[in-house]
Chain A
């Protein structure tokens, strides 16, 4: 029998991708301060320690503020951009959309440094606010991408029908357009939230020492005795991320089903 090259390659590839993530929960429940085989025994003490650490509580609170605000503002900007590019055609539309999407591929490090220079020269003090600014910049392209597809699958005659039946532009927007793109909006917010909550580079460059989850984890890794705590925290974060992404995808698909559009591929 011929050696199944492609099949072996696929299996190895997936193992390489996911074994590190699978190891995370294994060590999180391992009763030892060193992350090494053989396993010593089962414990949940690391989870207990994580949840009683006041520094982590502070970092979590900050991260939630940052990720929540980022999700809100990125999605708001995304709605405006997506609506403008799908509903109207205007001069310079293509280059403009390109510029909006560019932060997706620009090195984050460069953007973070450039932003830092600008903020400092403008005399704006670094804070959670400046972190949010940076995060909005990198999250907006994702929101635009998701929302453009949501607005595109919207039949233009639905809007005309609402007007024809007596509604003005604003009531048409909230009676017809908003409910139909709502799944896209929820989906965009969740994706932006997920990106912002573990964003490290922006948090490291544009913060003024406030601990966020990402910077907190990075700080803890320097102390070997804290590694199991991080494993436990990581396990929780992986589960939350998967749950958020699954929710986002659920809403995206429901949105497609509602408008009767064809599925053109999503994130999951």
Chain B
């Protein structure tokens, strides 16, 4: 991974719409051949950032480099990037093959060679034989494939995807996610995906930039992002995380001893975290619902145990979600338990033992 050259680089990219500060100093690099996602809630600037790569959005200051070249005065039609639009932007007056071959108009190859390239592109996206069809008669999933073929036929250095799956229903979306990953591995082109769906980003990406309010809050691979979110905002946006207020008692050698109600004293690793705060004071401990377990009598064990009371039960079939109020805590924590045959679902009000491990705890400053 680290040996790959940079394909896209943002250097302090700023974008204003009038008074509105849409991009607030973006610094990031996207590597060649990477599946990169821009993830964030609507209005966070992710689409604007993607459009600065394509050239549809000018930037107020900063530099956008694609393959080492400054894109400042390069219009969209001269950039080595191609885009799959959210609405797919299939030309409704053209057939499927005319759509796919649209970008080949200035290509010096012969008519037959271009037709063959169109055929190959359609085959690649699983639409072989659809060439003569009228574009506006296609289903959503098929339009998406046409848009992909139309962009990939030009062999761009970077393929930009603006929420390409958001208009599809759940089944087709999940299928397309896997197909896109496969396709990206086959063609080896750098993919930059914009999405507001955290699950989609985790499933598909090599690395993810989580954006809030025009800033990149965290840029990491999916696992790091999920396990070690740097801020509470990131932690909340990606999956569910429990937060407990805590006090730092001491900090030394990259480890801190903290005390949290419901958990007692524990040691957490702080080296993984951005540490600029003082060594003592108030902090927050966070952990994912699946890192804590319900300990049934005579079953299971854990590093540490806490007592609590079941406050809410949500049954999902394969899983049960419990909200448990730990003794000494005001707010309940959420935990998810896989349902195993023979293990009863607890009722609200049941006293229970909750097992956890200090290693799974993350500290937020």
Contact = CB atoms under 8 A, between A and B. Distances in A.
Report whether chain A binds chain B: yes
Interface of A: 155, 157-158, 160-168, 171, 175-176, 179-180, 258-260
Given A165-B154, A168-B77, A180 B93 contact: yes
B160 to A, nearest CB: 9
Nearest to A158: B89
B150 A165 contact: yes
Interface residues of B, number: 23
A260 B103 CA distance: 23
Given A258-B136, A260-B136, A163 B77 contact: yes
A155 B81 CA distance: 21
B102 A165 contact: yes
A80 B56 CA distance: 23
Contacts of B76: 160, 163-164
A258 B135 CA distance: 10
A47 to B, nearest CB: 42
Interface string B100-134: 00110110000000000000000000000000000
For the complex of A and B, 7 pairs with smallest distance between CB atoms: A165-B103, A161-B89, A157-B89, A163-B76, A157-B85, A179-B93, A163-B77
A155 B93 CA distance: 13
Contact of B83 (A158, A164, A260): A164
Given A160-B54, A162-B102, A164-B54, 6 more contacts: A157-B87, A160-B76, A165-B102, A167-B77, A168-B75, A171-B105
Contact of B92 (A163, A165, A171, A260): A260
Interface string B286-323: 00000000000000000000000000000000000000
B82 interface: yes
A157 B86 contact: yes
A163 B75 contact: yes
Nearest to B153: A165
Given A166-B105, A166-B106, A166-B154, A161 B77 contact: no
Question: Which of the listed residues A157, A162, A168, A258 has the most CB atoms from chain B within 10 Å of its own CB?
Answer: A157
A259 B134 CA distance: 12
B244 to A, nearest CB: 46
A219 to B, nearest CB: 47
A157 B85 CA distance: 7
A158 B82 contact: no
A262 to B, nearest CB: 14
B226 interface: no
B91 interface: yes
B339 to A, nearest CB: 45
